[in-house]
C-alpha cells in the first residue's frame, strides 16, 4: 500500500524477535513477575546508560513524575513550573502531589522551556521545575538550575537523545521516562522509570512505588502500587543496547527531510544548542498546518496535530490555567504538525512526504 506511516514500531524490532521471545520465556519459566532480577538488572543497565547513579522502575511515565516530585519533597502549598505545550500527563501528574502547576512558555523553535520562560513565573513558592525534553529535543536543564530551583526532567520522549551536558536522565535532580509502546524505547505495554544520582530521592521513590513501605509490614506514608514488571523489564533489556543506533536512525530521517528541501516549505524543529535530539516526533510548523494535514491524510501519509489545545486550556486545568497567557505556546499549538518519523524512515519516503507537503501548500497559494 502506498503512503508512509506516522510511526514504525515493528521494523526495528524484527531482527530482535528471537531474543525477545527468549526473554519472555525466561520470565515465564522463572515464576518471578514483580520486582525480581529482570527489573533490578534493567534498573542498573538503564542508570548506567543515562549516566545516573540510580534508577527506579515504575508502572508508567505519569506515575514516574508524581513519585519523583514527591521524592524530591514537593507537597501541598508548593508550586511546580511546567510547560503547557506538552502531553497532558506532564501537568496531570503534579496535583496528586498536593502542589499547584504553574504554566510557563516555550521557545517556539526548540519547543522546550528556557531559563527566561521559567524566570517569568518563578515565585518563592516554586519548589521544582518540570523540564520536558519535548519531541526528543533537549531542554536547557543546567541553565534552568542556575535560577536556584531543582529540575525534574520529563524525558518521556527523549530516550536516546544527548545534550551538551550529558544525556537526559542525568541532567537534573531526577528524571522520568515512559516506555509506552510507541516511545523511542518501548515496552509491550505500560512502563516507566525514574533516574537520579541523589540517593535520598532514589530511596524515597523506591518506598513510594511500593505502598510507602520498605517491607510490606510497616507503612510509612501513603504511596502507590506502581512497579515496572519483570516481563517488561526483560523486553526492555533486549532493546536498550540498540537505542543509540535507533536514535541515530531518527536523526538520519530528519536529515532526509532537510535534504529533500522541507525547510524551504515549512519551519523545521531546531535542535537545542549543542544537542543531538532523538526525534521521537518530527514536528513541522506552518500557518497552513490544517490544510497540509488534510492533504497528507488524503495521500495516505500519517500525520497528527498532537497539542492543538495546550494543557492550560484543557477543562480539567481551569483552576490553574484561567488568565494564563502564553503567546509562543499558542503559536506552536496552532501551527505544529507531526509527520512520519522512525529509525527506519528511508530517503524515498521522506521525498514522498515532502512532495505531498509542497502540493498541499501550492493549493493554498
Ligand X SMILES: Cc1ncc(COP(=O)(O)O)c(C=O)c1O
Residues that bind ligand X (CB under 6 A): 60-62, 86-87, 89-90, 132, 154, 156-157, 178, 180, 190, 192
Look at strands 100-104 and 54-58 and give their pairing. unpaired
Nearer CB in complex with ligand X: 7/219: 7
Q: Which is nearer to ligand X, 176 or 276 (CB)?
A: 176
Q: Return the number of the residue (157 or 276) whose C-beta is nearest ligand X.
A: 157
Q: How far apart are CA 262 and CA 243, in angstroms?
A: 26
Q: Residue 121: is it exposed, middle or buried by C-beta count within 10 angstroms (0-12/13-18/19+)?
A: middle
Close Cβ partners of 180 (under 8 Å, ≥ 6 residues apart): 60, 61, 156, 186, 187, 190, 191
Between 93 and 357, whose beta carbon lies closer to ligand X?
93
CB atoms within 10 A of CB 263: 13
Of the pair 192, 321, the CB lying nearest ligand X is at 192
Question: The cell 543506533 sits on which residue?
Answer: 245
| Minimum gap (Å) between residue 31 Cβ and ligand X | 27
Helix (H) or strand (E) holding 130: strand 126-132
Q: How far is the CB of 104 from ligand X (least distance, A)?
A: 15
CB of 263 to ligand X, least distance (A): 25
How far apart (Å, rounded) are the C-alpha atoms in residues 250 and 8?
A: 11
**At its nearest, how many Å lie between ligand X and the CB of residue 276?**
19
Residue number with CB closer to ligand X (132 or 354) = 132
* CB of residue 61 to ligand X, shortest distance in Å: 3
Considering beta carbons, is residue 74 or 356 the nearer one to ligand X? 74
Specify the 3-state DSSP secondary structure of 168: coil
User: In this structure, are residues 249 and 343 in contact, taking their beta carbons and an 8 Å threshold?
Assistant: yes
Per the CB < 8 A criterion, the answer to whether 173 and 218 are in contact is no
C-alpha cell at 44: 542498573
Smallest separation, CB 306 to ligand X (Å): 9
Backbone conformation region of residue 216, classed left if phi is above 0, alpha if psi is from -120 to 50, else beta: left
Which residue lies nearest ligand X, judged by its C-beta? 61
Q: Shortest approach of ligand X to residue 210 CB, angstroms?
A: 18
Amino acid at each position: 500500500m502506498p503512503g508512509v506511516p506516522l510511526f514504525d514500531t515493528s521494523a526495528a524490532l524484527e531482527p530482535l524477535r528471537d531474543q525477545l521471545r527468549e526473554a519472555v520465556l525466561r520470565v515465564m519459566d522463572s515464576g518471578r513477575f514483580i520486582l525480581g532480577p529482570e527489573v533490578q538488572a534493567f534498573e542498573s543497565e538503564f542508570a548506567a546508560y543515562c549516566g545516573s547513579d540510580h534508577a527506579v522502575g515504575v508502572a508508567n511515565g505519569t506515575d514516574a513524575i508524581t513519585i519523583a516530585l514527591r521524592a524530591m519533597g514537593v507537597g501541598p502549598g508548593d508550586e511546580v513550573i511546567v510547560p503547557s505545550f506538552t502531553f497532558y500527563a506532564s501537568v496531570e501528574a503534579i496535583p496528586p502531589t498536593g502542589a499547584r502547576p504553574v504554566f510557563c512558555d516555550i521557545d517556539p523553535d526548540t519547543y522546550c522551556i528556557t531559563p527566561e520562560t521559567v524566570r517569568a513565573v518563578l515565585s518563592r513558592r516554586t519548589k521544582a521545575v518540570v523540564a520536558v525534553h519535548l519531541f526528543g529535543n533537549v531542554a536547557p536543564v543546567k541553565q534552568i538550575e542556575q535560577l536556584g530551583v531543582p529540575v525534574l526532567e520529563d524525558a518521556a520522549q527523549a530516550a536516546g537523545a544527548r545534550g551538551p551536558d550529558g544525556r537526559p536522565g542525568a541532567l537534573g535532580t531526577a528524571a522520568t521516562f515512559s516506555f509506552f509502546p510507541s516511545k523511542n524505547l518501548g515496552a509491550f505495554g505500560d512502563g516507566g522509570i525514574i533516574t537520579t544520582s541523589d540517593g535520598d530521592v532514589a530511596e524515597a521513590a523506591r518506598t513510594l512505588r511500593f505502598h510507602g513501605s520498605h517491607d510490606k509490614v510497616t507503612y510509612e506514608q501513603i504511596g502507590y502500587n506502581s512497579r515496572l514488571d519483570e516481563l517488561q523489564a526483560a523486553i526492555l533489556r533486549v532493546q536498550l543496547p540498540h537505542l543509540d543506533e535507533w536514535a541515530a536512525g531518527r536523526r538520519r530521517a530528519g536529515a532526509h527531510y532537510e535534504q529533500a528541501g522541507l525547510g524551504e516549505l515549512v519551519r523545521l524543529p531546531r535542535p537545542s544548542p549543542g544537542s543531538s535530539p532523538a526525534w521521537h516526533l518530527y514536528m513541522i510548523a506552518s500557518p497552513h498546518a490544517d490544510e497540509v494535514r488534510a492533504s497528507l491524510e488524503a495521500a495516505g501519509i500519517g500525520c497528527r496535530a498532537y497539542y492543538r489545545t495546550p494543557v492550560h486550556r484543557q477543562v480539567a486545568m481551569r483552576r490553574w490555567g484561567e488568565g494564563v497567557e502564553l503567546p509562543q505556546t499558542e503559536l506552536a499549538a496552532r501551527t505544529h504538525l507531526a509527520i512520519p518519523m522512525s529509525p527506519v524512515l528511508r530517503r524515498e519516503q521522506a521525498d514522498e512526504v515532502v512532495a505531498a507537503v509542497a502540493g498541499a501548500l501550492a493549493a493554498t497559494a
